[in-house]
Amino acid sequence: MSAILTLNAGSSSIKFSVYLRGEGDGGGEPEEVAVGQIDGLGPDAKLILKHDGTKAVTDLGQADHKAGLKAILDAIQPILGDNAVTGVGHRVVHGGTGHLAPAVLNDEILTELAGLEPLAPLHQPHNLAGIRAAMEAFPDAIQVGCFDTAFHRSHPFVNDTYALPRKFFEEGVRRYGFHGLSYDYVSGYVEETYPDLQDARVVIAHLGNGASMCCVKGRRSIASSMGFSAVDGLPMGTRTGQIDPSVILYLMDNHGMASKDISDLIYKQSGLLGMSGISNDMRTLLESDAESAKEAVDYFVARVKREIGALAAMGGGIDALVFTGGIGENAWQIRERVCEGLEFLGVTIDADANQARGTESIGTGPVKVLVVQTDEERVIARAVASHLG
Ligand code: AMP
60: enclosing H helix or E strand:
strand 54-63
Q: Is residue 167 part of a domain?
A: no
**127 with 248, same domain?**
no
- Helices 124-137, 107-114: axis angle to 10 degrees equals 160
**92 with 229, same domain?**
no
**280 with 347, same domain?**
yes
**14 with 118, same domain?**
yes
3-state secondary structure of 102: coil
β-pair partners for 34: 18, 51
Q: Ligand 1 centre from 334 Cα, in Å?
A: 11
Q: Establish whether residue 326 lines the binding site of ligand 1, counting it when its CB lies within 6 angstroms of any ligand atom.
A: yes
Residue 216 has what pLDDT? 98
Q: What is the CATH number of the domain that holds 15?
A: 3.30.420.40
What is the rounded CA–CA span in Å between residue 128 and residue 116?
Answer: 11
**213 with 349, same domain?**
yes
**Residue 43, phi-psi category: left (phi > 0), alpha (psi -120 to 50), beta (remainder):** alpha
Q: Ligand 1 centre from 331 Cα, in Å?
A: 7
| Residue 210 Cα: closest atom of ligand 1 | 2
**126 with 221, same domain?**
no
Contact 270, 240 (CB under 8 A): yes
Q: Ligand 1 centre from 281 Cα, in Å?
A: 7
Q: Ligand 1 centre from 126 Cα, in Å?
A: 24
| Domain C-terminal end among 147, 162, 181 | 147
What is the rounded CA–CA span in Å between residue 229 and residue 247?
Answer: 17
What is the identity of the amino acid at 307? Answer: E
* Residues 34-58 pLDDT 10s: 999 999 999 999 999 999 999 999 9
What is the identity of the amino acid at 239? Answer: R
Contact 100, 150 (CB under 8 A): yes
Q: Establish whether residue 330 lines the binding site of ligand 1, counting it when its CB lies within 6 angstroms of any ligand atom.
A: yes
Structure letter (DSSP) for residue 159: G
Q: Is residue 128 part of a domain?
A: yes
Pairing outcome for strands 31-39 and 54-63: unpaired
Contact 194, 204 (CB under 8 A): no
**199 with 77, same domain?**
no
* Residues 168-227 pLDDT 10s: 999 999 999 999 999 999 999 999 999 999 999 999 999 999 999 999 999 999 999 999
| Domain C-terminal end among 86, 115, 147 | 147
β-pair partners for 142: 87
What is the secondary structure of 108-138 as a DSSP string? HHHHHHHTTGGGSTTTHHHHHHHHHHHHHH-
Furthest-apart CA pair in the chain: how many Å?
Answer: 64
Residue 153 has what pLDDT? 96
Q: Is residue 248 part of a domain?
A: yes
Q: Is residue 22 part of a domain?
A: yes
Q: What is the CA radius of gyration of the chain?
A: 21
**267 with 358, same domain?**
yes
Q: Establish whether residue 334 lines the binding site of ligand 1, counting it when its CB lies within 6 angstroms of any ligand atom.
A: no
What range does the domain containing 44 cover?
2-147
What is the rounded CA–CA span in Å between residue 220 and residue 223?
Answer: 9
Position 23 pLDDT exceeds 90: no
Q: Is residue 152 part of a domain?
A: no
Residue 20's φ and ψ, nearest 5 degrees, are -115, 150
338: enclosing H helix or E strand:
helix 332-339
| Domain C-terminal end among 83, 116, 147 | 147
**342 with 275, same domain?**
yes
| Residue 328 Cα: closest atom of ligand 1 | 8
Using the Cα atoms of residue 347, residue 348, residue 351 and residue 357 in order, give the sign of their dihedral. negative
Position 26 pLDDT exceeds 80: no
Residue 11 has what pLDDT? 83
Residues tagged in the binding site annotation for Mg(2+)? 8, 376
> By CB neighbour count within 10 A (0-12 exposed, 13-18 middle, 19+ buried), where does 357 fall?
exposed
Q: What is the mean pLDDT of the chain?
A: 96
Q: Which of 247, 174, 171, 181 is nearest to 210 (CA)?
A: 181
- Give the number of domains in the chain: 2
3-state secondary structure of 373: coil
**21 with 105, same domain?**
yes
CA dihedral 272→274→279→281, nearest 10 degrees, is: 30
* Residues 68-109 pLDDT 10s: 999 999 999 999 999 999 999 999 999 999 999 999 999 999
Q: Which of 166, 185, 182, 183 is nearest to 174 (CA)?
A: 166
- Band (1; pLDDT cuts 50, 70, 90): confident
- Band (25; pLDDT cuts 50, 70, 90): low
**226 with 366, same domain?**
yes
Q: Cβ of 13: how many Cβ atoms within 10 Å?
A: 16
Position 24 pLDDT exceeds 70: no
- 148 catalytically annotated: yes
What is the rounded CA–CA span in Å between residue 344 and residue 362?
Answer: 17
Catalytic residue among 44, 52, 107, 148: 148
**214 with 122, same domain?**
no
Q: Establish whether residue 207 lines the binding site of ligand 1, counting it when its CB lies within 6 angstroms of any ligand atom.
A: no
- Band (12; pLDDT cuts 50, 70, 90): confident
Contact 324, 204 (CB under 8 A): yes
What is the distance in angstroms between the CA of the first residue and the CA of the last residue of the chain?
Answer: 14
Q: Is residue 153 part of a domain?
A: no
Residue 371, CB-side half-sphere exposure with 13 Å CA sphere: 24
Residues tagged in the binding site annotation for ATP? 15, 206-210, 281-283, 326-330
Pairing outcome for strands 142-147 and 103-104: antiparallel
- Band (389; pLDDT cuts 50, 70, 90): confident
Q: Is residue 182 part of a domain?
A: no
Nearest CA to ligand 1 atom 17: 330
Residue 348 has what pLDDT? 98
Q: Which of 123, 365, 321 is nearest to 203 (CA)?
A: 321
Q: Is residue 171 part of a domain?
A: no
Average pLDDT of the residues in 332-358: 97
